Amino acid sequence: MFNQFILKQPKQLKIKLKEPFLDQKPGTSGLRKSSKQFEVPNYLESFIESIFQTLPNVKGGTLILGGDGRYGNLRAIQIIIRIAAAHGVTRIITTLNGILSTPAASNLIREKQAIGGIILSASHNPGGKNGDFGIKLNGSNGGPANEMLTNEIYNCSKNLKEYKIIDKVEISLNTKATFSIGDLNVEVIDGVDDYLSLMQAIFDFDQIRSLINDQFPIAFDALNAVTGPYAKRLLEELIGSPSGTVRNAIPKEDFGGIHPDPNLTYAHELADALLNGSDYSFGAACDGDGDRNMILGQKCFVNPSDSLAVLAANAELIPAYRNGLLGVARSMPTSSAVDVVAKKLGINCYETPTGWKYFGNLLDAGKITICGEESFGTGSNHIREKDGLWAVLFWLQILSVKRCSVLDLMLDHWSTFGRNYYSRHDYESISLEKANELYQRLELILPTLSNQPFAGQNVCSADNFSYTDPIDSSIAKNQGLRIILDDASRVIVRLSGTGTQGATLRIYYEKFEPANGNLNQDPQQVLASLINAMDELGEITKRTGMDSPTVIT
Ligand code: VG1
Ligand code: CO
């Protein structure tokens, strides 16, 4: 048994607020702001108070609490415990040093039948005193809080006059222990253990181990963020890849100055090594909170949309999915590569708005088994979040059966299903005003585009994507502008909901090449006519003042 500490009966305090604090509705994944903003007195507290006033079953409930280790995590954990205690939560499960990845948190919420979880992370945004901080709230199914709940929290916060908190207590997160504070029990557990068991229930580790033993060197970059301790145990201890396989394995408060975003720009060290033909047969990286993944092979970058399609096409090689898939889903801007696989498998493919919460209803209703987004996120019905290391293990399991290079696997996939050439162009930190003007202008033009020429073709349809949830019939409007051409090529335009500086404009391009076509071309070249046509139509260069995007995926 762990150490048990009984702390003195706490005093209840009520702190009056001079003004309501929240100037913005929490976005696609919670509230994200600069670390400095979260340090403004009563800012964090007010948001947490609004959560506990809104979340169902708080009194007597169990809460999961942890984060990605970034600056601000430890302070937030102490404050959240005190506010939770004042609201009658009776059990909080938190983790050693507060380290808990988003997928591991989702798993714990489900396993411990919690009322929800609070994950302290701004995901792939940089951390540290001058970086970003964030709070994600997940509900009792383990997935991101739905729109209704976040709206209620926002409305509550706008009228907040005071918050409840107990007197200062200090919970040590250095060792496994339990603390009783009045009616509240706080358990400090190892945040890796339960996640490890879950992965062992899904994959055949012996098989993956035999691949690694047969001269299949792999490298994983945790980018000084949360996945380090998880990857060490999974890849080095369980699978037996040599020590050092996991780079940047110790979570740091500022991620060592790295931008913990697993893409070709921000995880370029590992990407350069693999793409320049180093000895590694496989490379992968995860983001700050461990829900995203990037997959690389020798001289091969796997586009996340293709990754989703490959997982779906090979799911039966994984013990947990041996009996096939119920269905699949992708977010609207994600390429249609997985649709092609679904058609061949004879299963449904759902198209949802951006953000993991929309998959939750489909997963809960048993409509889908696997889902994903173009933004390096893939996952399944094992939890209700995207899961970076799960995707890495999935890929390794496929490769341990196929025994081929990542590039050969991709070429083989495309020559079966055809290739959806795809790219996302991000224009970061443009002024809010310019971005809104660009977007609104484009939206006004859309209705005039039908049957007009675009990139040497004809526009089949142009609209602003709207989604009706097939389970609860809720409607999500304004989810992104789409231009679809006669040959099913697509150009999509969205404004990001997760940035904290100015606005980020995302443009997504897709063009299908059939299985007997030219499958090994540079996507930027294949998509050039779409890119140029969009630049002209949307006046992208002129209005952003940028000659090229900040990040190209
Ligand atoms: C981005 C991605 C989206 C993802 C979201 C949260 O949102 O595009 O696909 O669900 O981040 O991911 P946006 O609005 O900036 O495009 V994470 O890793 O922060 O939980
Ligand atoms: Co993330």
The one-letter amino acid code at 38 reads: F
Active site residue 375: no
Q: What is the mean pLDDT of residues 126-133?
A: 93
**Is residue 308 within 8 Å of 323, Cβ to Cβ?**
no
Given this model, what pLDDT does residue 89 score?
A: 96
Q: Are residues 423 and 365 located together in one domain of the fold?
A: no
Best CA proximity match to 230, nearest among 188, 198, 272, 258:
198
DSSP 315: G
Distance CA 408, CA 284 (A): 17
428 CB near ligand 1 (under 6 Å):
no
Distance CA 15, CA 86 (A): 12
Q: Are residues 97 and 152 located together in one domain of the fold?
A: yes
Supply the residue whose CA is at minimum distance from atom 11 of ligand 1: 498
Structural domain ending residue among the three candidates 417, 438, 455: 417
291 CB near ligand 1 (under 6 Å):
yes
Distances (CA, A) of 338 to 305, 351, 361, 435, 493: 7, 11, 19, 31, 20
Say how many Å lie between the CA of residue 504 and the centre of ligand 2.
Answer: 17
- Give tens-digit pLDDT for 307-338: 999 999 999 999 999 999 999 999 999 999 99
Structural domain ending residue among the three candidates 398, 417, 436: 417
Q: Are residues 451 and 399 located together in one domain of the fold?
A: no
User: What is the tally of structural domains in the chain?
Assistant: 3
Question: Count of H helices and E strands in the chain?
Answer: 18, 28
Given this model, what pLDDT does residue 19 score?
A: 73
Distance CA 200, CA 206 (A): 10
Best CA proximity match to 367, nearest among 390, 351, 387:
351
Q: What is the mean pLDDT of residues 100-105?
A: 98
- Give tens-digit pLDDT for 231-245: 999 999 999 999 999
Q: Are residues 119 and 263 located together in one domain of the fold?
A: no
Given this model, what pLDDT does residue 61 score?
A: 96
Name the catalytic one among 106, 123, 281, 375: 123
Q: Are residues 397 and 461 located together in one domain of the fold?
A: no
261 CB near ligand 1 (under 6 Å):
no
Given this model, what pLDDT does residue 4 score?
A: 84
Q: Are residues 406 and 423 located together in one domain of the fold?
A: no
Distance CA 193, CA 355 (A): 27
Q: Are residues 270 and 320 located together in one domain of the fold?
A: yes
Structural domain ending residue among the three candidates 370, 401, 417: 417
pLDDT grade for 30, boundaries at 50, 70 and 90: confident
- 3-state DSSP call for residue 330? strand
Say how many Å lie between the CA of residue 104 and the centre of ligand 2.
Answer: 12
- CATH at residue 296: 3.40.120.10
Q: Are residues 77 and 209 located together in one domain of the fold?
A: no
Best CA proximity match to 47, nearest among 25, 65, 64, 73:
25
- CATH at residue 429: 3.30.310.50
Given this model, what pLDDT does residue 22 score?
A: 65
pLDDT, averaged across the chain:
93
Q: How many CB atoms lie within 10 A of CB 404?
A: 15
Token output for 113: 């039948």
Q: Are residues 261 and 157 located together in one domain of the fold?
A: no
- 3-state DSSP call for residue 218? strand
Q: Are residues 111 and 139 located together in one domain of the fold?
A: yes
Supply the residue whose CA is at minimum distance from atom 17 of ligand 1: 123
For residue 500, the enclosing domain spans 419-552
- Give tens-digit pLDDT for 145-195: 988 888 888 888 888 899 999 998 889 999 999 999 999 999 999 999 999
Q: Are residues 294 and 394 located together in one domain of the fold?
A: yes
Q: Are residues 399 and 435 located together in one domain of the fold?
A: no
Distance CA 221, CA 551 (A): 19
